[in-house]
């Protein structure tokens, strides 16, 4: 029986797959793409403050595994969160960056899933990261 979050984790892996093989600066920029897309699709639902609060919690949870991440202050803008993340990623190697980005996205979307449900979270991720999907899940696209 598949784990209930399997589709969400698959979407994260697919969103991060494009960063392989590029130079360090290009990889840093590419690792921010899923975050920017997620923010664009999620902030109309939970607002900037909701996105930032969830992101701050995610970073605090991830800092136990990635001590080089910078804790974010409450009430920052999304742009300032992404600037801090970009600076953190730029200061580390590509492998550590990739591991941390996966962990951050997994934790963020896991927390989101706890709040709004796995199905809705997966739909938002699919809509944010898959061009042409129109936000439909696999079952809806096959009908």
8 Å CB contact between 112 and 11: no
Q: Which residues of the chain have pLDDT under 50?
A: 1-2, 133-143
Distance separating alpha carbons of residues 37 and 51, to the nearest angstrom: 12
> Residue 97: which of 4, 31, 13, 8 has the closest Cα?
31
- Helix 24-62 vs helix 6-16: crossing angle, to nearest 10: 150
pLDDT recorded at residue 17: 84
pLDDT recorded at residue 71: 92
pLDDT recorded at residue 135: 42
Distance separating alpha carbons of residues 23 and 107, to the nearest angstrom: 26
pLDDT recorded at residue 22: 66
pLDDT recorded at residue 99: 94
pLDDT recorded at residue 1: 34
Say how many C-beta atoms besides its own lie within 10 A of residue 87's C-beta: 11
**In the chain, where the domains are located:** 6-130
pLDDT recorded at residue 133: 46
pLDDT recorded at residue 137: 38
DSSP string, 87-132: HHHHTS-HHHHHHHHHHHHHHHHHHHHHHH-HHHHHHHHHHHHSTT
pLDDT recorded at residue 24: 76
């Amino acid at each position: 029986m598949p784990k209930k979050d399997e589709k969400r984790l698959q979407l994260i892996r697919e969103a991060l797959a494009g960063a392989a093989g590029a130079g360090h600066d290009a990889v840093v920029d590419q690792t921010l793409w899923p975050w920017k897309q997620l923010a664009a699709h999620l902030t109309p639902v939970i607002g900037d403050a909701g996105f930032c609060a969830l992101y701050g919690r995610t970073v605090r949870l991830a800092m136990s595994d990635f001590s080089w991440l910078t804790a974010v202050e409450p009430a920052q803008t999304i742009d300032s969160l992404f600037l801090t993340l970009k600076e953190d990623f730029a200061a580390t190697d590509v492998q550590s960056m990739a591991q941390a980005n996966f962990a951050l996205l997994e934790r963020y979307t896991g927390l989101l899933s706890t709040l709004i449900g796995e199905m809705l979270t997966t739909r938002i991720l699919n809509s944010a990261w898959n061009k042409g999907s129109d936000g439909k899940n696999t079952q809806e696209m096959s009908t």
